Structure 1
Amino acid sequence: MLLYRVRRLLASLFIKASASTVIFAVAGYVASCYLLLSAVGESDLTAPGNFIYWLVVTASTVGYGDLSPVTPAGKLVVVAWVIPLGLSLFAMVITQVGFAVSEFAQRGKRGLRMTDHKNHTVIIGWNGTRTLRLIELLRSKTNGAAAEIVLCVEADIENPMPGKIDFVRVESFSHIEGMQRAGLADAARIIIDNPLDDVTLTTALFCDKLSPRSHKTAYFQDENVGELLRAHCPNIECIPSVAVELLAKSSLDPGSARLHRQLLDSTYGMTQYSVEYRGEQPLPIAALFDRFKRDLSATLIAVRRPDQVKIDVNPALTARVGKGDMLYYIAAQRLDEKQCFDIKTQAEEGVGQCLPD
């Protein structure tokens, strides 16, 4: 009965104890066992190669039996001190380790852990099923090697997709210490999608300062707010709501809504992608169009020049593509940059075929 109460008292103390206290207690237990066994003449047990091994086996109740006390006093020390206290300490150490592992997992689930990703995608804001759909599209296999995704929210929720994305919960989207846990400075892409436009605006301004090199997109229900952001941060891509435009287009051209949805859905069928031309030599649109259609089963639909706001949809075949131009195309999956612009080699092959033997 007394031993049971002692163990309960030790359990209560060690559950609330800090890691340093547990380490100190274990060290004191090991030292006391060594001194007591040495005092009663158990030289085999206290030998340098045997003591720690025997103590762990005994305290964990494994008890191989290859080493054991031989003197009456040594047996008394083991029965009265080594085993009772060892069992309690062993259980408490396992409990503390379990608590630490559980706390680490729970911190990640609750969004309180620091992430360490680089060139990842950060989604700021929570819109329920809309955000889950956004994550599904970003993780689509047709997009190629998908980057790690970190969801950053203010809402009092837990990670909605544990094991698939990382999760950070903050008090405010403009709180530096909290937002740094999402790794904004090292992010390749930041997507800002909040139900409130004013929160989206302030968050976008904050992200532009904290992560100037990342590609940032922000969704606005009011296009005027998006224009205000674009005036201060022209590098942020503002996405306005196109519900009214799509409603008018669908009424005049039936099926337009379904067409636009499929072009944006990377999980099914042909969809729209983009690729930047980084070469020094300008390339003709006609050769690129032929390359995309004949060799890659894709369709080149538009070009965006780095110095122009509007996109050149259905560009003329006589036009040319220069360094920094962004090409938009429709394909079953994202194409490799080298595949898209490898037309010089193809031209050389055509010349080789025309040469006489």
Structure 2
Amino acid sequence: MKKMFPIVILLQLFLIGCVEQEIIDDVNLVTVTGFDKVEEDRIRGTAIANTYLKDQPVQDYQLDEISELSRDILSDMQKKSPDPLVLGKLQVVLFGEELSRSGITDLVDTLQRDATISERLLLAVTRDEAKKVLEADFGTQGASRFLSSLILHNKLHRDLPRSNLHLFLFQYYSKGQDPYLPILKKEEKDVLIDGLALFDDVKLVGEIPNEKLLFFKILADQYSQGSYTLNIPDSKEKAGIKSISSSRKLKLVSLNPLKVEISAHVEGYINEYTGKKITPNVIRKSEKAFKDEIEKESLALIGKFKELDIDPLGIGDDIRSKSRDFDISKWREKIKDLNVEVKADVLISETGVID
């Protein structure tokens, strides 16, 4: 048996050598792509690829192609590239606003069919054209690292809800939820978050501005490290609430009439205060004001969703999981008749260091 061991090792090395490999110096890794509608039936694809040069930093270079079919864009780009273009390191895909309003079904379908593309691929809608965003100066970080860091930072530490290719497809194929994606905007030299795009299936039909994203995330996702500036009632003072964490539960009250109750539990601490001293009374007022604001803004958002006939919160899926008598196939017709009550429970458990 011991005599066979070296032979087995040699066979493994031989088989590894037989596997088709792509040497990083011989390929161009596409890390970001953007798609824009340029004519009624034509799409422009913009790709940012990394090129690796010996003893030099990685460099971005851009390729553009226009085609009627999204799957033809990459093959046409290959003709312009000195080395094969590979999608295995694709991190971010951007969709221009006009294209998003027309529908991005074919593009998302193309992405999910490519086995080399990760389900954690980040998707976003761009204000105006995706090409313009990709023409920004991303400095030494490069487009892929900057854009992916921008989106992930705002999910983990700010107000963006979770989203990626996997979640988008789950929401799209679900009969009880509609997809959403972050919106990116180029402003002079900067690229920044500019709200949340709301989809009816895969067509952009509305959006949520940045200042309302906190309330959407409380309803749709879970906070772990959020922050918010609160106006204290009956005074001119403001309190900065930090380390906001949240959870939410949905209770089915009745099917006829259709009514649900959403309970949101929110915790945080005051890390900044414009007044002289944080007293128990200030904390009580802050809790009450934050509770009232969450309930008011949440109901306003839900009213907007009902007007658009969409369900980005996944209320339909929640109801289906709680009642066998609920017909999910008719959910779209029932959204406008849905009665929602929001109850927020806010706990400001401690205070941070006050300067």
Q: TM-score range by the shorter chain?
A: under 0.3
Greater Cα radius of gyration, structure 1 or 2: 1
**TM-score, normalising length: structure 1:** 0.27
Query: Which of the two has greater strand per residue?
Result: 2
Query: Which of the two has greater helix per residue?
Result: 1
With a CA cutoff of 8 Å and minimum separation of 6, indicate the structure with the bigger relative contact order: 2
